[in-house]
């Protein structure tokens, strides 16, 4: 039996971050993964999707970026040139150089402080751990949809790594994955239909952002079907052998490929969590304020929540490593940035006004239409800057942006919410002209004047 200070199950963003921090503090660390070291982000998710969004933007603007070039660029970004499976050697070597022991295989608990790893060759090894960090990530949810088993549906993996454009595409789900990939393929001329069960796309964002994004996607040629669900699939029964998806309102849509973007599930069943006295609830782990699910067992990344982002996984991975090493710290989830990298971008942090009021906050919303500002004029851009203010405490509790470059602009608001910066300080802060940040600054000024009883400009 090998002994390590920390055993990390999962080598995605959270696991890598935990390993690098812990080895940097002198701990002995083993990192286990059953598939690609580096996880989804560099191979199936963040990096390929953003590379393709970039290529599609240049292509739409008339630049020399055909799909063949976009596919090659994406393959370069994910280390998949000339092969069907990405090369994760860079991630492995980085961990090994840091001093971590890298193990490929499937991990499960045998009891407190004991992890068994099953390798592809059938062999098993037993590891003793001072602490364990569970960082297994998530994977696309496959619904129990009649007829789906008769085709090979796409998930984000096929959507971000396709080398040939589909003749047509139906995307089930209009969250971040659904809207980003719909824009990529639509801008390359693929007929795309998005089916979403709620009344607006990207419905966890602000309604203004959803409306702006829907208009942009429709301008790119995306057909959006809202308030309907897929009920069954009839394989190869449509036009030119397309699949037919029957919807809850009695209508149908057709696509030669069907991409599933309806949510994520967590690979925790095989972990044998009962061996450490843990019973998952609704497929997720009940994590305390120190990321623990049991004594000396910590969780980082998607499977623990409260949201799913690579940047949150990195943060939690480092926090989990510090906690496993005995540091007296607690993660702060009060200001988690979110961003959608479509054209236009959307970003947000904190609570919508209704969510704030539901928590008993005396909240008010203030919004500035970006199209009527100097930034909107010079960039010929639409968008908005909307802030949610706690009127009693005079601090921000939420910020929602849409427009050019808002994935960068949001971080002023992230810091302001984290530090509970007084609204008066934000209103008194100079913002460069003409920028989206300046538009956000105008929202701060308007809110401050309103709360002081003054007239708005």
Q: How far apart are CA 414 and CA 365, in angstroms?
A: 17
Stretch 95-124: mean pLDDT:
96
pLDDT on residue 147: 97
CB 15 within 8 A of CB 135: yes
Residue 378: pLDDT above 60?
Answer: yes
Q: Count Cβ atoms within 10 A of the Cβ of residue 199 and give its class: 0-12 exposed, 13-18 middle, 19 or more buried.
A: exposed
- Enter the tokens of residue 215: 């208009």
Is the Cα dihedral 41, 42, 43, 46 positive or negative?
positive
Stretch 142-153: mean pLDDT:
96
pLDDT on residue 454: 58
Domain assignments of the chain as residue spans, ordered by start? 2-39+88-138+266-324, 148-262, 338-451
2-39+88-138+266-324 in CATH: which number? 3.50.50.60
Stretch 145-153: mean pLDDT:
97
For 292, list phi and psi in degrees, rounded to 5.
-100, 145
Q: How far apart are CA 8 and CA 291, in angstroms?
A: 14
- Enter the tokens of residue 162: 């396709």
> Under CATH, what is the fold of the domain 148-262?
FAD/NAD(P)-binding domain (3.50.50)
Chain mean pLDDT for the chain: 96
CB 115 within 8 A of CB 127: yes
How many CB atoms are located within 10 Å of the residue 149 CB? 12
Q: 51-79 b/e with 16+ CB inside 10 Å = b?
A: bbbbbbbebeeeeebebeebbeebbebbb
β-strand 124-134 against 114-118: which pairing, if any? antiparallel
Residue 368: pLDDT above 80?
Answer: yes
Q: How far apart are CA 361 and CA 392, in angstroms?
A: 8
pLDDT digits (tens, 9 = 90+) for 239-281: 999 999 999 999 999 999 999 999 999 999 999 999 999 998 7
Largest CA distance in the chain: 74
Question: DSSP secondary structure string, 83-149?
Answer: SSS---HHHHHHHHHHTPEEEESEEEEEETTEEEEE-TTS-EEEEEEEEEEE----EE-----TTGG
Name the percent of the chain lying above pLDDT 90. Answer: 96
pLDDT digits (tens, 9 = 90+) for 288-320: 999 999 999 999 999 989 999 999 999 999 999
SS3 254: strand
pLDDT digits (tens, 9 = 90+) for 21-30: 999 999 999 9
Q: Do domains 2-39+88-138+266-324 and 148-262 have the same CATH topology?
A: yes
Q: How far apart are CA 367 and CA 440, in angstroms?
A: 9
Is the Cα dihedral 99, 103, 107, 109 positive or negative?
negative
pLDDT digits (tens, 9 = 90+) for 215-226: 999 999 999 999
Stretch 328-349: mean pLDDT:
97
Rounded to a whole number of angstroms, the distance between the first and last alpha carbons of the chain is: 71
Q: How far apart are CA 209 and CA 370, in angstroms?
A: 12
Please tell me what DSSP assigns to residue 155. -
Stretch 183-191: mean pLDDT:
98
> Under CATH, what is the fold of the domain 338-451?
Enolase-like; domain 1 (3.30.390)
pLDDT on residue 1: 84
Task: Provide the whole-model pTM.
Answer: 0.95
Task: Quote the radius of gyration of the chain (alpha carbons, Å).
Answer: 24
Q: How far apart are CA 44 and CA 382, in angstroms?
A: 31
Q: How far apart are CA 260 and CA 156, in angstroms?
A: 7
CB 273 within 8 A of CB 257: no
pLDDT digits (tens, 9 = 90+) for 54-86: 999 999 999 999 999 999 999 999 999 999 999
Residue 456: pLDDT above 50?
Answer: no
Q: How far apart are CA 264 and CA 307, in angstroms?
A: 11
Question: DSSP secondary structure string, 8-73?
Answer: EE--SHHHHHHHHHHHHTT--EEEEESS-TT-HHHHTSHHHHHHHHHHHHHHHTT-S--HHHHHHH
Is the Cα dihedral 194, 195, 196, 200 positive or negative?
positive
């Amino acid at each position: 039996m090998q002994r390590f200070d920390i055993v990390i199950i999962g080598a995605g963003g959270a696991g890598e971050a935990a390993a690098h921090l812990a080895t940097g503090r002198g701990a002995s660390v083993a990192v286990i993964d059953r598939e690609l070291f580096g996880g989804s982000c560099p191979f199936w998710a963040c990096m390929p999707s953003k590379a393709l969004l970039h290529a599609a933007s240049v292509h739409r603007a008339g630049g020399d970026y055909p799909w063949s070039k976009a596919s090659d660029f994406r393959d370069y970004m994910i280390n998949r040139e000339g092969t069907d499976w990405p090369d994760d050697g860079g991630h492995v070597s980085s961990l090994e150089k840091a001093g971590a022991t890298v193990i490929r295989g499937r991990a499960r608990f045998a009891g407190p402080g004991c992890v068994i790893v099953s390798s592809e060759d059938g062999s098993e090894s037993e590891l003793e751990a001072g602490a364990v960090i569970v960082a297994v990530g998530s994977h696309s949810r496959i619904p129990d949809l009649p007829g789906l088993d008769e085709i090979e549906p796409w998930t984000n993996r096929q959507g971000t790594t396709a080398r040939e454009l589909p003749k047509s595409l139906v995307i089930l789900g209009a969250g971040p994955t659904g809207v980003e990939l719909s824009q990529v393929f639509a801008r390359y001329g693929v007929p795309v239909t998005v089916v979403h069960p709620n009344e607006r796309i990207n419905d966890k964002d602000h309604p203004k952002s959803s409306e702006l994004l829907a208009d942009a996607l429709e301008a790119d040629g995306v057909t959006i079907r809202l308030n309907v669900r897929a009920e069954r699939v009839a394989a190869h029964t449509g036009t030119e052998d397309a699949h037919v998806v029957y919807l809850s309102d009695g209508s149908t849509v057709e696509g030669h490929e069907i991409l599933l973007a309806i949510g994520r599930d967590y690979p925790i069943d095989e972990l044998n969590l009962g061996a450490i006295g843990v019973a998952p609830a609704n497929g997720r782990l009940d994590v305390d304020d120190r990321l623990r699910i049991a004594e000396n067992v910590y969780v980082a990344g998607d499977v623990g929540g409260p949201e799913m982002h690579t940047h949150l996984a990195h943060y939690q991975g480092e926090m989990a490593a510090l906690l496993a090493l005995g540091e007296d710290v607690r993660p702060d989830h009060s200001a988690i940035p979110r961003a959608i990298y479509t054209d236009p971008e959307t970003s947000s942090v904190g609570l919508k006004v209704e969510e704030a009021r539901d928590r008993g906050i005396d909240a008010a919303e203030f919004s500035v239409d970006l199209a009527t500002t100097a930034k909107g004029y010079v960039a010929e851009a639409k968008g908005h800057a909307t802030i949610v203010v706690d009127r009693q405490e005079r601090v921000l509790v939420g910020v929602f942006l849409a427009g050019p470059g808002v994935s960068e602009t949001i971080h002023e608001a992230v810091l302001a919410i984290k530090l509970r910066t007084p609204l008066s300080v934000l209103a008194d802060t100079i913002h460069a002209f003409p920028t989206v940040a300046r538009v956000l600054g105008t929202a701060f000024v308007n809110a401050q004047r309103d709360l002081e009883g003054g007239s708005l400009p």
